[in-house]
């Protein structure tokens, strides 16, 4: 790491966190917690100028670093800075045509393009690839609820990825292979772990702290002229590998394929590659249905284990939508006035549009009996009837 890169990273892990936390405490004490204009202006200016000085030092260096890891870290740090500028309303894509943070934009564009990712911070920066130094991992604030959110998200992502790894290896050995049973069972057990993690988040995360002090850092912002959607815990390959390997979502469904295409730049390139590979393989559901008539005892055993894994996956999707999104986004949004409501979601579309697209994903993943979407309801029912 160069001296400028290291200094920026140190600042992101220390003063940056302290100033964001101080601002959050000020906003949270206001009667209207969603109004940030005119509150803590001196801290905002200090945060903006100190970050800008680091960015200028890096830009002068003219090098985003040696290799992927270094550019990835620079992208994360400049992205956290821009996301904080957005959160504190020092930039807002709705009122600007280009980012007022020119140097930060060009640094982000250079780092992002050099490693094949969108030029903004991705969820991997705060979760699976958030390297702790001396026990300190990156965050926006030091609020208990932010750490709860990113830690539990990370645990859930890792468990999803373990389930995906197990099922991908099942594909390689063939789902009618007798030894595929251990991998199918391993996937189910990892998905049960996600259910526990989601349950913990639902029970322990503070709704107001999450909604008013954590979630606003995940809003879209502009880099240069282009507006980029916010990060979310879904920006890793495991969840989509599970969709595709199970067969509950299909790459030839135009709505789902569009989602994958849009999502790719928010993933690390290694994850992008995994999704591309998953798009090219036949799903376990299709393979089991193709062999439904000649299934012997290994077929029947593994088909039952497959159904258990698919059901556990469906449970996680139901929880995400009906519990987490409902409790932490939809319900608190109901009390916001129209201008604030327009700024709520990470992806940008109005809340009811976002809710509808998340509901479709839930219904695909639970193979719901819902006409008009590419649900595998009938195919799952056929398999269930054969397994008995």
The piece of 38-46, 276-284, 293-301, 342-350 that touches ligand HEM (CB under 6 A) is 342-350
325 binds ligand HEM (CB under 6 A): yes
User: In this chain, which of 85, 148, 167, 233 binds ligand HEM, going by CB under 6 A?
Assistant: 233
Estimate to the nearest angstrom the gap between the alpha carbon of 63 and the chain centroid: 28
User: In this chain, which of 239, 260, 284, 305 binds ligand HEM, going by CB under 6 A?
Assistant: 239
Q: Give the CA distances from residue 345 to residues 76, 218, 221, 330, in Å, rounded to whole numbers and listed in that order.
A: 20, 8, 12, 10
214 binds ligand HEM (CB under 6 A): no
User: In this chain, which of 85, 324, 367, 380 binds ligand HEM, going by CB under 6 A?
Assistant: 324
153 binds ligand HEM (CB under 6 A): yes
Q: Which of residues 252-311 bind ligand HEM (CB under 6 A)?
A: none
Cβ nearer to ligand HEM, comparing 246 with 303 = 246
* Residue 86, CA atoms < 13 Å, CB-side half-sphere: 34
Does residue 59 contact residue 5 with C-beta atoms inside 8 Å?
Answer: no
Q: Which of residues 154-173 bind ligand HEM (CB under 6 A)?
A: 156-157, 160
Phi first, then psi: give them for residue 226, nearest 5 degrees. -90, 140
The piece of 23-31, 128-136, 232-240, 279-287 that touches ligand HEM (CB under 6 A) is 232-240
Residue 333 C-beta: closest distance to ligand HEM, Å: 10
347 binds ligand HEM (CB under 6 A): yes
Cβ nearer to ligand HEM, comparing 58 with 354 = 354
Residue 387 C-beta: closest distance to ligand HEM, Å: 27
Cβ nearer to ligand HEM, comparing 156 with 244 = 156
The piece of 167-175, 231-239, 297-305, 373-381 that touches ligand HEM (CB under 6 A) is 231-239
Residue 230 C-beta: closest distance to ligand HEM, Å: 6
Residue 253 C-beta: closest distance to ligand HEM, Å: 13
Residue 142 C-beta: closest distance to ligand HEM, Å: 19
Cα angle 202, 206, 210 (rounded to 5 degrees) comes to 100
Q: How many residues bind to ligand HEM according to rule CB under 6 A?
A: 24
Residue nearest to ligand HEM (CB): 234
The piece of 56-64, 74-82, 152-160, 179-187 that touches ligand HEM (CB under 6 A) is 152-160
205 binds ligand HEM (CB under 6 A): yes
**Residue numbers at the binding site for ligand HEM (CB under 6 A):** 152-153, 156-157, 160, 198, 201, 205, 210, 232-234, 239, 320, 324-325, 328-329, 345-347, 354, 358, 361
């Amino acid at each position: 790491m160069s001296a400028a890169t290291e200094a920026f990273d140190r600042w992101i892990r220390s003063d940056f966190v302290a100033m964001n936390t101080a601002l959050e405490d000020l906003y949270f004490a206001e009667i209207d917690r969603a109004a940030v204009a005119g509150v803590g202006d001196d801290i905002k200016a200090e945060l903006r100028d100190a970050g800008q000085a680091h960015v200028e030092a890096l830009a002068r260096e003219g090098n985003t670093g040696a290799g992927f890891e270094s550019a990835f870290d620079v992208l994360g740090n400049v992205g956290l800075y821009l996301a904080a500028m957005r959160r504190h309303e020092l930039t807002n894509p709705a009122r600007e045509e280009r980012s007022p943070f020119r140097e930060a934009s060009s640094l982000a564009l250079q780092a992002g393009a050099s490693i094949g990712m969108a030029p903004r911070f991705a969820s991997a920066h705060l979760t699976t690839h958030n390297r702790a130094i001396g026990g300190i991992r990156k965050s926006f604030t030091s609020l208990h609820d932010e750490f709860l959110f990113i830690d539990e998200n990370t645990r859930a992502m890792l468990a999803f990825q373990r389930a995906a790894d197990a099922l991908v290896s099942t594909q390689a050995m063939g789902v009618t292979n007798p030894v595929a049973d251990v991998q199918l069972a391993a996937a189910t057990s990892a998905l049960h772990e996600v259910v526990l993690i989601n349950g913990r988040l639902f029970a322990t995360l503070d709704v107001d702290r999450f909604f008013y002090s954590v979630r606003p850092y995940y809003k879209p912002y502009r880099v240069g002229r282009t507006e980029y959607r916010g990060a979310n815990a879904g920006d890793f390959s495991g969840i989509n590998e599970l969709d595709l390997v199970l067969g509950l979502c299909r790459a030839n469904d135009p709505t789902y394929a569009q989602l994958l295409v849009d999502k790719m730049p928010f993933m690390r390139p290694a994850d992008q590659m995994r999704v591309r590979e998953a798009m090219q393989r036949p799903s376990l559901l299709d393979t089991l249905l193709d062999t439904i008539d000649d299934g012997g005892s290994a077929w029947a055993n593994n088909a039952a284990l497959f159904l258990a894994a698919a059901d556990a996956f469906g449970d996680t999707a139901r929880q995400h939508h009906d519990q987490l999104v409902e409790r932490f986004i939809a319900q608190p949004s109901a009390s916001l006035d129209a201008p604030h409501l327009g700024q709520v979601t990470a992806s940008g579309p109005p809340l009811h549009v976002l809710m509808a697209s998340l509901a479709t994903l839930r219904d695909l993943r639970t193979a719901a009996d819902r006409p008009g979407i590419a649900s595998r309801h009938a195919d799952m029912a056929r398999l269930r009837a054969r397994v008995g």
